[in-house]
């Protein structure tokens, strides 16, 4: 039980690291672009998540853009609403960044709002769950808000991979011993001649394991 818990915790750390690495190194500019019509779920997410401009009646603009690269996806939504002050359209955009593999486990949203005020005002920008980090190739926004479902799935997958990796050396020794035995050599050290007891390393031929 203790080993399982340790593997699960290690899997969580690895999952977090993979998500951060994907967000910091992957470029969505070369990713696959998917276009789709906005849905009622998109509008509900917009109205529940938007930190600015909640006093307005927003209408989402088609299409919903989704860029995908391994371990990273960026969903872009745009919306318009009639300004209560000028009667002109306010424009807003959200970039929803989700990172992780095999499932997204970290997320963050970058909001942009341009109000149709008189006189014109500066745009409002809010980053939620994102940390900007400067790299040589420019700044990247790293999501840090956990997606619990994705984090649990990724932790289990990574724990299984880590647990399997721990058995690789034993499996490799067994295969090597079988190959040496077929070639008429000592399974443990490869000494020529298959005997009951190896004169080189002392391995007993009737021992159940293929190598020491």
The mean pLDDT value of the chain amounts to 85
9 and 82: one domain?
yes
pLDDT in tens, 14-72: 999 999 998 888 766 667 888 999 989 998 999 888 887 777 889 999 888 888 888 99
Single pTM value for the model: 0.75
148 and 178: one domain?
no
98's CB contacts (< 8 A; 6+ apart) are 72, 73, 74, 75, 104, 106, 107, 143, 147
60 and 138: one domain?
yes
123 and 60: one domain?
yes
137 and 177: one domain?
no
117 and 47: one domain?
yes
155 and 174: one domain?
no
159 and 187: one domain?
no
Measure the CA–CA gap between 169 and 172, rounded to whole angstroms: 5
| pLDDT value of residue 164 | 82
Q: Tokens at residue 142, please?
A: 């790293």
pLDDT in tens, 99-140: 999 999 999 999 999 888 877 788 889 999 999 888 777 778
130 and 32: one domain?
yes
Measure the CA–CA gap between 95 and 108, rounded to whole angstroms: 8
By residue range, what is the domain housing residue 205? 170-212
128 and 194: one domain?
no
């Amino acid at each position: 039980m203790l080993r399982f818990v340790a593997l699960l915790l290690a899997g969580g750390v690895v999952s977090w690291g993979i998500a951060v690495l994907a967000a910091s190194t992957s470029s969505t500019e070369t990713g696959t672009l998917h276009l789709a019509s906005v849905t009622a779920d998109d509008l509900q997410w917009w109205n529940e998540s938007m930190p600015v401009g909640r006093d307005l009646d927003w209408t989402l603009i088609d299409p919903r853009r989704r860029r995908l690269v391994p371990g990273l996806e960026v969903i872009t939504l745009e919306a318009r609403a009639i300004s209560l002050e000028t009667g002109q359209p306010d424009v807003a955009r959200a970039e929803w960044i989700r990172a992780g593999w095999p499932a997204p486990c970290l997320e963050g949203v970058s909001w942009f709002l341009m109000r149709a005020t008189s006189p014109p005002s500066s745009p409002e920008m809010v980053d939620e769950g994102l940390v900007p980090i400067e790299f040589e190739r420019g700044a990247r926004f790293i999501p840090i808000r956990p997606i619990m479902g994705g984090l649990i799935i990724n932790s289990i997958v990574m724990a299984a991979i880590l647990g399997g990796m721990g058995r690789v050396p034993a499996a490799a020794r067994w295969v090597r011993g079988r190959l040496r035995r077929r070639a008429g050599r000592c399974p443990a050290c490869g000494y020529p001649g298959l005997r009951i007891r190896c004169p080189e390393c002392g391995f007993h031929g009737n021992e159940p394991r293929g190598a020491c």
